[in-house]
């Protein structure tokens, strides 16, 4: 079974802190994604990556950056956390790039609270 593991289920940070959210997948998937989920807004794509060191902006990249140094790991970085970044963050992976988007495999989510 594909497993997508997010390093922290719950985090509480202070405004201005640098926050790292880590995601690891164990099935050699090419594509990895970071979404945030907010009530009434559904899931919104922040960034995605289709290869090591490659990244593409999603719909709401402002205030975030990402890093993909290894194929299995995709990190989301909040350089200076703000209260409006309080949210549930979901990492996902999928098998291949260059084809119609296939099934996404999600992690359990990281609930971030910024005080």
Partner 1 sequence: SQQGEEDPQALSIQEGENATMNCSYKTSINNLQWYRQNSGRGLVHLILIRSNEREKHSGRLRVTLDTSKKSSSLLITASRAADTASYFCATDAVNAGGTSYGKLTFGQGTILTVHP
- Per CB under 8 A, residues contacting partner 1 are 4, 31, 33, 35, 40-45, 48, 50, 56, 58-59, 90, 92, 97-109, 111
Whether the Cβ atoms of residue 32 and residue 48 lie closer than 8 Å to each other = yes
Least CB distance to partner 1 at residue 80 (A)? 26
Query: Which residue, 16 or 102, is less far from partner 1 as judged by CB?
Result: 102
Q: How far does Cα 95 stand from its chain's mean position?
A: 16
Query: Which residue, 17 or 61, is less far from partner 1 as judged by CB?
Result: 61
Residue appearing with tokens 């594509």 = 31
Q: Strand 4-6 and strand 19-25: pairing?
A: antiparallel
């Amino acid at each position: 079974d594909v497993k997508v593991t997010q390093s922290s289920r719950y985090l509480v940070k202070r405004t201005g802190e640098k926050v790292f959210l880590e995601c690891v997948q164990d099935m050699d998937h090419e594509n990895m994604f970071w979404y945030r989920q907010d009530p009434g807004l559904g899931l919104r794509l922040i960034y995605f990556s289709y290869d090591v060191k490659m990244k593409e902006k999603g719909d709401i990249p402002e205030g975030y950056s990402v890093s993909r140094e290894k194929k299995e790991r995709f990190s989301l970085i909040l350089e200076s956390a703000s209260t409006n970044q309080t949210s549930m963050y979901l990492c996902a992976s999928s098998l291949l790039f260059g084809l119609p988007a296939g099934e996404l495999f999600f992690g359990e989510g990281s609930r971030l609270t910024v005080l």
